[in-house]
């Protein structure tokens, strides 16, 4: 049923860490792709054949598909046969501690594409979303286009097909995983699922597994909640080992020699747009039932403050502490600072005025430094500058540049290592 000629034009709404690689991969299959983003700088950068994010080999693919004319970016939506929505879904911070999903970006995307929708179009929500978000998207589209019918109104015979297919890629390996990973596709009707499978089969080598929209939404939340719970176990274990004067890194290696044990390595917390956010969507929907999932979030959210206490303790050894914080990204060898515990730790240390705080992040430039850190006087410096100046070293991310640091250089310094590289 599927064919590479099924779609001649696809529009991707949101050209960030997921949208741009997806647009580039689809364009590389000879399909015309229109990328839409509200950020004029991102649009101009892409149209010049460059990229505004860090992802291995993405620049080569984008340059190629832009030069052939298969990928073009714009701030205004245009007609297409399929629309893939890949916009942020953060949560709203509330005074009562609740974490309700913010679907305003999805609603805005719906209102943006609604005027150019035509009968026979397919709309796919790729953004990680709470259960029911795909249905809301269909309702928002229906409100904006009463002349068209949607799955909640007409089922399989609807004018516009709507489905959910959550992204499930690992930063740093996005191009490979977009193609090789299995995809969970949840249509609002069978016809919606079938049409979505047609689209994904143009570039996905993995299996396209069909379910309904609500189950597809919950599948992604479940995957990330499972990982969050396992990370929380490792982080809790690291704090216990610290108190009992046990090397947690050695302990994890020993325990993992058991054939059915696979403990993750601890860190300074959990970051990124997915694992640090998605479990809250489950907790918000079922607060009385999601006890373990909630506790894992609380454990991981508390870890940065435990690290801060260790840094303050180390800084107290010096009259004029100079604290070099190695890493701002939420994981190794990428530039993504979203929900990063490293940024949170650096921000809190700068706020505490315990000494001079230096940030080292080899994957970003000066103008990409978080405004909150610049306002507190945190400078971005090279590894060499920071090691020369600092007497307290805080390893927050295990970037390859930090793994190459000679251990002898650190002998005279106080080191707080949250990644086990020292």
Annotated active-site residue in 161, 192, 208, 220: 220
Annotated active-site residue in 165, 192, 208, 274: 274
Residues 279, 391, single domain; the answer is yes
Residues 128, 275, single domain; the answer is no
Any bridge partners for residue 208, and if so which? 183
Residues 235, 345, single domain; the answer is yes
Q: What is the average per-residue pLDDT within 210-226?
A: 97
Residue 76 domain flag: yes
Q: What are phi and psi of 72, to 5 degrees?
A: -140, 135
Residues 303, 162, single domain; the answer is no
Residue 212 domain flag: no
Could you tell me what percent of the chain has a pLDDT over 90?
Answer: 89
Predicted TM-score (pTM) of the model is: 0.89
Question: Of 155, 173, 206, which marks where a domain is finished?
Answer: 206
Residues 252, 142, single domain; the answer is no
Could you tell me what percent of the chain has a pLDDT over 70?
Answer: 99
Question: Of 174, 206, 238, which marks where a domain is finished?
Answer: 206
Instruction: Measure the CA–CA gap between 255 and 257, rounded to whole angstroms.
Output: 5
Is a pLDDT exceeding 60 seen at residue 52? yes
What digits encode the pLDDT tens for the residues 144-170? 999 999 999 999 999 999 999 999 898
Tell me, what's the pLDDT at 272?
82
274 is catalytic: yes
Is a pLDDT exceeding 90 seen at residue 172? no
Instruction: Measure the CA–CA gap between 77 and 117, rounded to whole angstroms.
Output: 10
Residue 153 domain flag: yes
- Model confidence band, residue 4 (pLDDT cutoffs 50, 70, 90): very low
Sign for the CA dihedral angle at 301, 304, 306, 308 comes to: negative
Question: Of 299, 275, 180, 177, nearest to 223 (Cα)?
Answer: 275
Residues 20, 153, single domain; the answer is yes
Structure token digits, residue 223: 């995957």
Residue 74 domain flag: yes
Averaged pLDDT of the chain: 95
- Diameter of the chain measured on Cα atoms: 74
C-alpha distance from residue 377 to each of 346, 372, 389 (Å): 11, 9, 16
Tell me, what's the pLDDT at 138?
98
Is a pLDDT exceeding 70 seen at residue 2? no
- Name, of 159-173, 189-203, 326-340, the range with top average pLDDT: 189-203
Residues 156, 250, single domain; the answer is no
Instruction: Measure the CA–CA gap between 236 and 231, rounded to whole angstroms.
Output: 9
Instruction: Measure the CA–CA gap between 284 and 193, rounded to whole angstroms.
Output: 27
Radius of gyration for the alpha carbons in the chain, expressed in angstroms and rounded: 23
Sign for the CA dihedral angle at 262, 266, 267, 269 comes to: positive
Q: What is the CATH number of the domain that holds 401?
A: 3.40.50.720
Residues 227, 192, single domain; the answer is no
Which of 111-115, 320-324, 362-366 shows the lowest per-residue confidence on average (mean pLDDT)? 362-366
Instruction: Measure the CA–CA gap between 144 and 110, rounded to whole angstroms.
Output: 8
Tell me, what's the pLDDT at 273?
77
Residues 280, 147, single domain; the answer is no
What digits encode the pLDDT tens for the residues 276-315? 899 999 999 999 999 999 999 999 999 999 999 999 999 9
Residue 303 domain flag: yes
Residues 187, 244, single domain; the answer is no
Question: Of 181, 206, 231, which marks where a domain is finished?
Answer: 206
What digits encode the pLDDT tens for the residues 123-152? 999 999 999 999 999 999 999 999 999 999
Instruction: Measure the CA–CA gap between 394 and 342, rounded to whole angstroms.
Output: 10
Residue 2 domain flag: no
Tell me, what's the pLDDT at 3?
41
Number of domains in the chain: 2
Q: What is the average per-residue pLDDT within 166-193?
A: 95
Domain that holds residue 34: 9-206
Structure token digits, residue 209: 């597994």
Instruction: Measure the CA–CA gap between 275 and 393, rounded to whole angstroms.
Output: 27
What digits encode the pLDDT tens for the residues 91-116? 887 777 778 899 999 999 999 999 99
Question: Of 37, 34, 12, 32, nearest to 22 (Cα)?
Answer: 12
329 Cβ neighbours under 8 A, 6+ residues apart: 271, 335, 336, 337, 340, 342, 361, 363, 364, 397, 399
Residue 104 domain flag: yes
Whether the CB-CB separation of 390 and 324 falls below 8 Å is answered with yes
Is a pLDDT exceeding 60 seen at residue 65? yes
Residues 97, 137, single domain; the answer is yes
Residues 135, 283, single domain; the answer is no
- Model confidence band, residue 398 (pLDDT cutoffs 50, 70, 90): very high
- What totals of helices (H) and strands (E) does the chain contain, helices first? 16, 15
Residue 135 domain flag: yes
Is a pLDDT exceeding 50 seen at residue 5? no
- Model confidence band, residue 1 (pLDDT cutoffs 50, 70, 90): very low
């Amino acid at each position: 049923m599927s064919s590479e000629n099924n779609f001649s034009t696809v529009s991707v709404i949101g050209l960030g860490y997921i949208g741009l690689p997806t647009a580039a991969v689809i364009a590389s299959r000879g399909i015309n792709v229109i990328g839409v983003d509200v950020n004029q700088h991102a649009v101009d950068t892409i149209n010049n054949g460059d990229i505004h994010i860090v992802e291995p080999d993405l620049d080569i693919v984008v340059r190629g598909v832009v030069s052939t004319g298969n990928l073009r970016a714009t701030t205004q939506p245009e007609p297409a046969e399929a629309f893939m929505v890949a916009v942020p879904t953060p949560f709203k911070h509330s005074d009562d501690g609740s974490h309700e999903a913010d679907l305003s970006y999805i609603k805005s995307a719906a209102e943006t594409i609604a005027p150019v929708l035509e009968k026979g179009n397919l709309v796919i929500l790729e953004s990680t979303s709470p259960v029911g978000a795909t249905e809301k998207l269909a309702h928002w589209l229906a409100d904006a286009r009463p002349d068209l019918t949607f799955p909640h109104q007409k089922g399989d015979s609807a004018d516009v097909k709507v489905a959910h297919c959550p992204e499930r890629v690992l930063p740093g390996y996005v191009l490979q995983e977009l193609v090789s990973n299995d995809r969970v596709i949840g249509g609002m009707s069978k016809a919606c699922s079938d049409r979505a499978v047609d689209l994904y089969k143009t570039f996905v080598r993995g299996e396209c597994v069909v379910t309904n929209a609500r189950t597809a939404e919950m599948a992604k939340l479940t995957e990330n909640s499972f990982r969050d719970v396992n990370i929380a176990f490792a982080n809790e274990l690291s704090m216990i080992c610290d108190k009992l004067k046990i090397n947690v890194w050695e302990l994890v290696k020993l325990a993992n020699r058991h054939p059915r044990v696979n403990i993750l390595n601890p860190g300074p917390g959990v970051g990124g747009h997915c694992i640090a956010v998605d479990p809250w969507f489950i907790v918000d929907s079922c607060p009385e039932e999601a006890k373990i999932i909630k506790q894992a979030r609380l454990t991981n959210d508390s870890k940065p403050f435990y690290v801060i206490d260790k840094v303050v303790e180390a800084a107290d050894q010096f009259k004029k502490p100079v604290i070099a914080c190695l890493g701002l990204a939420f994981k190794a060898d990428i530039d993504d600072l979203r929900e990063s515990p490293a940024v949170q730790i650096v921000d809190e240390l700068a706020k505490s005025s315990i000494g001079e705080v230096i940030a080292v992040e080899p994957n970003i430039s000066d103008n990409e430094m978080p405004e909150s850190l610049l306002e507190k006087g945190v400078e971005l410096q090279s590894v060499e500058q920071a090691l020369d100046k600092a007497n307290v070293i805080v390893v927050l991310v295990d970037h390859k540049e930090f793994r190459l640091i000679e251990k002898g250089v650190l002998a005279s310094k106080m080191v707080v290592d949250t990644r086990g590289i020292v």
